[in-house]
Structure 1
Amino acid sequence: MGFVQSLCDHSLFVMCKGDVLVVLLVYVDDIVVTGNSLPEITRVKSCLSKSFQIKDLGILKYFVGIEVLYSGGSVCLSQRKYCLELLNEFGYLGCKPVGTPIEQSHIITNKTDKDEKFLENVNGFKKLIGKLIYLSLTRPDISYTVQFLSQYMHKPCQSHLDIALRLLRYLKQSPGRGVMFRKTGSLDLSGFVDSDWAKCTKTRKSVTGFGVFLGGTLVSWKSKKQGIVSRSTAEAEYRAMCSATCEVMWIKNILTELNVNCTLPVTLFCDSKSAIYISLNPVFHERTKHFELDLHFLREKIASGIIDPQKIASDNQIADIFTKGLNVGKHSVLCEKLGLFDMFAV
């Protein structure tokens, strides 16, 4: 039929004939078809119906548990039904909501087996965290809390369950919240990256957090504990910038396959002046001699004009929501900057 399989995402197929673009996304037995030519989309669906027994459900409204809502020129991806079923399953449908997913002052304790009470029902905790992981597909505001709880799925304590149940109370506040995609005149990429140095008191590993925006809309985010101990804040921030650069390169390659030209360089906002100096300075010196070779690819991308690291004030760092617990005021402000919106609350 003229489709070419994407090299960046094997479930994505693209057909480009002149000015006509049709994109087909497959997940098991569900297919999403879109493009800029309605006759060509109709032809593709007709060809598929000749070879397979398919059912046309019309305009996209529900896909793998994600609700697609339309409002004017905007599209919102939400998991309201999934979230309400989760709250009902664990008996929190009528609970009192809280303003943040995790307490601002929370710390990762380093207690011994004698000091902490471990849960007997480990499977129930694993089931809850597994559902929360899937819910974070459209809820970047819970990413940090979910990645924190995911580290203790093999041997959870009562304190971890308390945080998970608090997260359910936070979800009760706005179960219909999701990521809003708005039409803009720009399709430029930009990213915000941050890290929390030595966050884990047991392993002393840092937390990486970043968000990538396409034309002002959040399209990718991550909150993850780093695999290696960093010796300084600058090193932890530098590792986070490398992770964000990998994600930016992947998104840029997908956009290239979709015939979307991104303006280079891609701006990467970081609040660590030291990490930016390290990335811009190719000189080998004592502070960076222990860095792994793969970390230096960031300098290569900067030298080739693909990435442009920029300093941003800590108060304006959107990626803070992916690396630490915040107070209610700042958490709400960052959720708004991320483009989160609850269409059911209107």
Structure 2
Amino acid sequence: MRLACSAAALLIILGAQARADSGDACSCKNLTSLQQEVENADYEKQFFTTLSERLKAIEAKQVEVNKDPTNPDSGRSVLAVSGNARKEIMAKEFRLPHDPPDGYTGPKSVDLDAPACEQDPEQLKAMRNGSACKAIADITLSHEAAHTAKCKADTPAVYWDRLPSALAAEEAERYTEQAKAMRAELKRVVDGSTVRVSAIMEPHMTGPRFDVTYSYVMYPFELSSAGSGGGGLSIFKGDGKQAGTIKRVKLAGMSCTPSGQLNDDISMTMETDGFTMGMKQSSHARPGDVRLKCKHGSGMSLRPQSDSGSGPVFQGEPLQLSSTITRNVADMSFAKLLRQGGFSVDGKQVVTVDLVCPGQ
């Protein structure tokens, strides 16, 4: 039940997402739907927990008021006072993060009406068929089934005779379970995927009698699941290659012709909580040099084969099926060091990250 109600009716706001066959297992294609399900359930868990406490206070106050026959508000029904307060709070304050949820095609609500303990089976079927994938439908239906089971176990007379604060507390409990189940499914889907990453960085460096544009290309490669980290993080690791060349160069006002390339082995690690991601890399030089042929001579790099480095690529970026992250080279640590030596650095780094579903 997505909304706590009075004893007259229990209104359920549904939140299954995305246009897909609900019989299909969830995969990374349903990433947005699962993320939104978790965010909605987390919101509702907190909202109904707080609502229950607020209604308890209202109910307790009315009980005390009713003990004083001289109070003009004495004699009012505790159930009615609390029920009216619930309606007002819901109307003014209840705002789902995702309403309507992305791509949901089922009914907006399903009613569980007193004095029964059953919902319309056709409406529940429509809810399932409108879900993004099987797990989302199963989890949402399990939420509804738990309400029905409690109603039958308590007996309808007892179940429907509860105060609104108790109904809200039950709703909070159901959403606590739902949020946990949706988050577990989101992690399962993410862990079952692979990550494809590629990047290009073209720093432009200028200094006294020096103007060079480099190009570093990281060819596409995949990161595979490497288990879980602290806080339930999903970890991915993989190895790839990077080639570095000189695109344009002027030395002492002379245009030079570059050739050759620098080669690096790259190791990447990505961590994600299912909503944001961070990536770091380490590199190790492999055989390869760049050469310059200028008007009055030539030269080549003497890069040590043991040259290596490591550091963050990005942090706190949204996890999506496909992401393009652009960074200003001038903000990177190596650029800051070069500026201390009298050089200026600009340019862009563009990193492409794709979440790849099994079988793609």
Q: Give TM-score, length-normalised by structure 2.
A: 0.21
Structure (1 or 2) with the larger CA radius of gyration: 2
Higher share in strand = 2
TM-score (norm 1): 0.21
